[in-house]
Structure 1
């Protein structure tokens, strides 16, 4: 049987500080939508800045409890859906060794590396953009992403590369790949040289302030493919069951138009390519 939608390899449950979703409900939603496989990727951001609306336990997952819940549910869905256990690790330059040790301590199937904190500030908050142009903010974000990647290599895909446009004052209105081509190309070349992929993250397509592109944008995906990149995963970044595989139909057609014929899923940190 050929499934119409790709596997969803980016989602969060109550094990992440910003979600209340039961893991079981996420699995049931994925089955209902006809997915063949999913991967849980709970947040783990060590040393996240102190912000007034932080979750009580911050963004550090209780990994033992997360693992225990996953293993308790997995047998019940054998033959119904493939379940994988992953993590979304928050990069910061001074955390490279700590993140590496953490990932090596657990048998993750899949690791997303994400740039949520840029020089002690999260671009989610308006304060990141105060006193400067959006272009300056975007450039700092991309430069810090490359800085992180040059220090940290224990991951499979880079999460939502241009995540910053979701939260910029003008969203993507003033954002063009061409304006940041040098730094974005440096990031893409680094990923390709190190055998790493991109998380095609669809949250921007279905969220309240919906954008025209996933993260990363179509232009970045085209450039990644032009440079020889061929590893992409699909991720809804769902925090509630109804958002699983959100806008995957749109994203699938978009990546095919960018020249991709396959996507990847991971188990035990090993990739398997699936035809689109």
Structure 2
């Protein structure tokens, strides 16, 4: 089975799953490796939420698990790093001062709000919200690009009150092309994030049309992640991801 390169443990503010349970589940599924990629989002605007990792404890825990399961699975020390323009120096210092094996760059904040919350959508049309998200993501990548893969590129679509009924990739073709061209030029991979499938959507993040366009523009490598916040969702939808990868003749990035 494909290895899962996007999983959250209780070091993330939005998960209660123990790292040990995560590793045990990955072993049960026959994965060669598992990447634990907990949230670090600087300048987080949501009151009462603290997406900041205790890194001393984080690395110590992952080192212990690596030793415990060294003959069964490779544990990748990862992070999901929020891309925001006003946190460039903080992101740079974090990467410089910590030995991460794998870094996901992603965007969760648009107009100082997380689209996960219904309040973001008040008085907003999908078209305007989606376009603003892509522009925010592009600016975030231009500000900071020291990451390995671009996570859930159209994350915002998950949380629209209209789901995907108003979503057409063609409506955002120019800015999507700019994002894809930029990451390709910087050797940043594109993540196929299967969390959308677990939520009942018919496509992963990003939409299959974006993955196709990535290939057309010269993209070669993708990473695959479930974005699981519980052990039971690790590897969910990977059969779909494998089919997409095969259809578009893409390569799967792995850490040896």
Q: TM-score, normalised by structure 1?
A: 0.90
Tell me the residue number matched to 1:83. 75
CA contact (8 A) 1:88 1:111 kept: yes
Tell me the residue number matched to 1:264. 253
Query: How much does 1:119 deviate?
Result: 2.5
Q: Aligned ranges for residues 50-89 of structure 1 at < 5 Å?
A: 50-51=46-47, 54-55=48-49, 58-89=50-81
Mapped pair 1:213 → 2:203: yes
2:22 to 10, 23, 26: 26
SS of the residue aligned with 2:65?
helix
Mapped pair 1:222 → 2:212: yes
Tell me the residue number matched to 1:203. 195
Q: Which digits, 9 at most, give the CA deviation of each residue in 1:124-151, with x for residues without a partner?
A: 1122222131100000000010011111
Mapped pair 1:172 → 2:143: no
Q: Which digits, 9 at most, give the CA deviation of each residue in 1:9-62, with x for residues without a partner?
A: 0001011101111111100100111111111101001111133xx44xx11111
Tell me the residue number matched to 2:221. 231
SS of the residue aligned with 1:9?
strand
Rounded Cα–Cα distance in structure 2 between residues aligned with 1:257 and 1:67? 38
Q: Aligned ranges for residues 143-162 of structure 1 at < 5 Å?
A: 143-162=135-154
Rounded Cα–Cα distance in structure 1 between residues aligned with 2:142 and 2:173? 18
Rounded Cα–Cα distance in structure 2 between residues aligned with 1:189 and 1:25? 38
Tell me the residue number matched to 1:255. 245
Rounded Cα–Cα distance in structure 2 between residues aligned with 1:110 and 1:132? 35
Query: How much does 1:6 deviate?
Result: 1.2
1:13 to 4, 9, 17: 9
Structure 1 gaps of 5+ residues are 267-271
Query: How much does 1:165 deviate?
Result: 0.7
Rounded Cα–Cα distance in structure 2 between residues aligned with 1:259 and 1:174? 29
Q: Which digits, 9 at most, give the CA deviation of each residue in 1:176-202, with x for residues without a partner?
A: 111100010000000001111111100
Mapped pair 1:123 → 2:115: yes
Rounded Cα–Cα distance in structure 2 between residues aligned with 1:228 and 1:79? 37
Tell me the residue number matched to 2:103. 111
Query: How much does 1:236 deviate?
Result: 0.5
Paired residues in the alignment total 256
